[in-house]
Amino acid sequence: MQQDFGRRPPGPRSVLLAEVAQATQRLADAGVPSPRTDAEELAAFVHGVKRGELHSVKDADFDARYWEVIARREQREPLQHITGRAYFRYLELQVGPGVFVPRPETESVVGWAIDAVRAMDVVEPCIVDLCTGSGAIALALAQEVPRSRVHAVELSEEALTWTRKNVEGSRVDLRQGDALTAFRDLDGQVDLVISNPPYIPLTEWEYVAPEARDYDPELALFSGEDGLDLIRGLERTAHRLLRPGGVVVVEHADTQGGQVPWIFTEERGWADAADHPDLNNRPRFATARKALP
Ligand SMILES: C[S@@+](CC[C@H](N)C(=O)[O-])C[C@H]1O[C@@H](n2cnc3c(N)ncnc32)[C@H](O)[C@@H]1O
């Protein structure tokens, strides 16, 4: 006889888990990409427990505010704006209106950067994060690369209100300014420059998910017709900041894998320009090494 291992064991179902199932359906109908996860995260948030502890919420403690937050998510308000927190590698960051919500694909960009810095065998590596937003990249590097000296710059004052909260107590040197002119005091001394800059082509505005288009700041998303305006400028900044042999890592859109490595050419003083996929095997970030003299 065939056994059905996937079947739920008989027994009563908690009120909360029934409501989560209903909320999942509503979020799916609204086009939310991960309805089950979001329905559970919001249930955990409202009831002050972890996602894995939802079964422990007693029926009598079900909080009707759950339906208020589900209604907000149905309108495609980002999950992280509703909960006020975003997870990035080993960090929990504070986020909300005015700051870009860090994305999972950036985690693999940081992973590559960590490996690159470790391979350098420098005692106190100097790292610069251009366009830091919430501070996600800079803070992850400070946490995961022992004895690193991490510097970060952000242009938007609105974003910086969040960044300042996140970097408090860390050793990240946070500055306000334009990435293109930042850190003159570090010229030629940096081991690794990393950036997740705005890169969406203006021509793709209508295809951007509502969570990003309506809630992430415009300054965080777009950069000229083909999306590469800022990356072209960052190429010069990275070259100015890096020591010979230092490495640059730049995230880009999955449609730009054929273009970004070509910005880091030998004629402009670069070697080993390459492109790399993210965990979904989509082209995601370019790297290059500042050529030795
Ligand atoms: C795509 S978001 C990335 C934020 C963060 N690095 C992350 O991965 O979550 C790009 C960030 O660049 C900032 N930005 C845009 N132009 C800038 C510039 N010229 N100088 C510094 N920051 C800039 C935006 O305000 C935004 O915070």
Q: Report residue 26 as tokens.
A: 């509503």
Average pLDDT in the chain:
95
Report the pLDDT value the prediction gives residue 73, as an integer from 0 to 100: 98
182 in a domain, yes or no?
A: yes
Give 119-131 pLDDT, tens digit per residue.
Answer: 998 999 999 999 9
278 in a domain, yes or no?
A: yes
Domain boundary among 75, 106, 123: 75
In the predicted structure, residue 71 carries a pLDDT above the cut 60: yes
Residue minimizing CA distance to atom 4 of ligand 1: 133
Q: Report residue 184 as tokens.
A: 């003159």
Contact 143, 117 (CB under 8 A): no
Give 181-231 pLDDT, tens digit per residue.
Answer: 999 999 999 999 999 999 999 999 889 999 999 999 999 999 999 999 999
Residue 20's pLDDT band (boundaries 50, 70, 90)? very high
Distance 253 CA to ligand 1 centre (A): 14
Residue 26's pLDDT band (boundaries 50, 70, 90)? very high
What string of DSSP letters covers 245-268?
EEEEEEE--TT-TTTGGGGS-GGG
Distance 73 CA to ligand 1 centre (A): 25
Report the pLDDT value the prediction gives residue 14, as an integer from 0 to 100: 83
Asked if 25 and 108 sit in the same domain, the reply is: no
For the chain, how many structural domains are there in total? Answer: 2
160 in a domain, yes or no?
A: yes
177: exposed, middle or buried (Cβ count in 10 Å: 0-12, 13-18, 19+): exposed
Contact 150, 194 (CB under 8 A): no
Asked if 71 and 189 sit in the same domain, the reply is: no
274 in a domain, yes or no?
A: yes
Asked if 68 and 94 sit in the same domain, the reply is: no
Distance (Å, whole) CA 141 – CA 247: 15
In the predicted structure, residue 62 carries a pLDDT above the cut 80: yes
Question: Which atom of ligand 1 approaches the CA of 251 most closely?
Answer: 8
Asked if 170 and 62 sit in the same domain, the reply is: no
Report the pLDDT value the prediction gives residue 1, as an integer from 0 to 100: 44
Across 170-264, the runs of DSSP E, i.e. the strands, are 173-176, 190-195, 242-251
Report the pLDDT value the prediction gives residue 118, as an integer from 0 to 100: 95
Asked if 188 and 281 sit in the same domain, the reply is: yes
Distance (Å, whole) CA 197 – CA 176: 15
Asked if 158 and 116 sit in the same domain, the reply is: yes
Probe residue for ligand 1, chosen from 131, 151, 193, 250 as the CB with the greatest number of ligand atoms within 8 Å? 131
Place of tokens 């900044």: 237
Rg (CA), the chain: 22
CA 218 to chain centre: 16
Give 31-53 pLDDT, tens digit per residue.
Answer: 999 999 999 999 999 999 999 99
3 in a domain, yes or no?
A: no
175 in a domain, yes or no?
A: yes
pTM of the model: 0.94
Distance (Å, whole) CA 84 – CA 41: 12
Residue minimizing CA distance to atom 2 of ligand 1: 220
Report the pLDDT value the prediction gives residue 247, as an integer from 0 to 100: 98
Report the pLDDT value the prediction gives residue 291, as an integer from 0 to 100: 98
Residue 5's pLDDT band (boundaries 50, 70, 90)? very low
Asked if 139 and 31 sit in the same domain, the reply is: no
CATH number of the structural domain spanning residue 244: 3.40.50.150
83 in a domain, yes or no?
A: no
DSSP-derived 3-state class of residue 97: coil
**Across residues 129-158, what is the average pLDDT?**
98
Asked if 177 and 266 sit in the same domain, the reply is: yes
Asked if 44 and 120 sit in the same domain, the reply is: no
Asked if 210 and 148 sit in the same domain, the reply is: yes
Domain boundary among 75, 104, 125: 75
Q: Report DSSP state, residue 55.
A: G
Which of 62-66, 154-158, 193-197, 270-274 is the least confident region? 62-66
Report the pLDDT value the prediction gives residue 2, as an integer from 0 to 100: 46
Distance (Å, whole) CA 117 – CA 90: 18
Asked if 160 and 278 sit in the same domain, the reply is: yes
Distance (Å, whole) CA 267 – CA 111: 29
Residue minimizing CA distance to atom 26 of ligand 1: 220
224 in a domain, yes or no?
A: yes
Provide the sign of the torsion angle of the four alpha carbons 149, 154, 157, 160, taken in this order: negative
Question: Any bridge partners for residue 200, and if so which?
Answer: 222
Q: Report residue 207 as tokens.
A: 């295809």
Contact 156, 221 (CB under 8 A): no
Domain that holds residue 246: 88-290
Asked if 66 and 182 sit in the same domain, the reply is: no
Report the pLDDT value the prediction gives residue 121, as an integer from 0 to 100: 86
Q: What residues contact residue 210 under an 8 Å CB cut-off, 6+ apart?
A: 76
